[in-house]
Structure 1
Amino acid sequence: MALLHKIGQVLTMDLTKDLKFKKNHEEDLKQTTFIDQLKKRRSIYVLGKRVHLSQVYLAELIQYAVWTCLADAGLGASLQHYNPSIDADISKVFEIPKHWLLRAQLVFGSIEEKAAEKEHYKDEERFMIYA
């Protein structure tokens, strides 16, 4: 019950004042990420105590939310995580801004057939301990 109460507090708190940014002509010339803008503010320390702002954590939450929405709509999805060694090539091919961080690609579409049953290995086969 305590967990549900805490989730309720997080979902109902007013974060708008912490997330509004004044436009600056200098910033128009230089694009910055949302996280970078938050880091410049003093209120980031207060906000950080209320909301975890790790970019990886936020990306995971967004991926999960989008995946769930697609599943609710009856669509199938396959989440492919990127290896940083291909970021430059992917950015060039798809004309993605260089300052974007490529985390994953979510391919989605209709479900043509049920997913095949996965083969599960025993823990003894998957994990080995060397002493």
Structure 2
Amino acid sequence: MTLFENTVKLRGFLVKDSASPPSDGVTDDAFAVLFLATMSGTWNIAYSEWIPRTTCHRIVCPGPYFCGFTRGMKRGEYVEVEGELYVYDYERPVVVEGERFTAERFRCEVRALQVRRLERPPMVVDTGEND
């Protein structure tokens, strides 16, 4: 048993094409970025309906290996990512009624440890008719 663990496993569809540097620009500190959509939701008991929610996750894939592996990944591909969750703060300038303030913001991202292309699942469409 480990005392602390920071692991994330996501499976979903790419929202857009992968962003990776060109092959002649790959260095040891290069990285590729994927945007992965996952779906979840909640059941509204009062109306007896499912309320779906789609979340887009920013996946940072560090290193030359990932830059080469993710290059060519296109929007709509079905992938699985295992990695670690990183949360960091940054300050953002905000103007309210002509006055300048700084607002603390935070950003979450997943740093990939493993990326797998998966076979696209068969789509099931509910036509509302019972056979």
Pick the TM interval, shorter chain: under 0.3
Highest CA radius of gyration, 1 or 2? Answer: 1
When normalised by structure 2's length, the TM-score is 0.21
When normalised by structure 1's length, the TM-score is 0.21
> Which of the pair is proportionally richer in strand?
2
> Which of the pair is proportionally richer in helix?
1
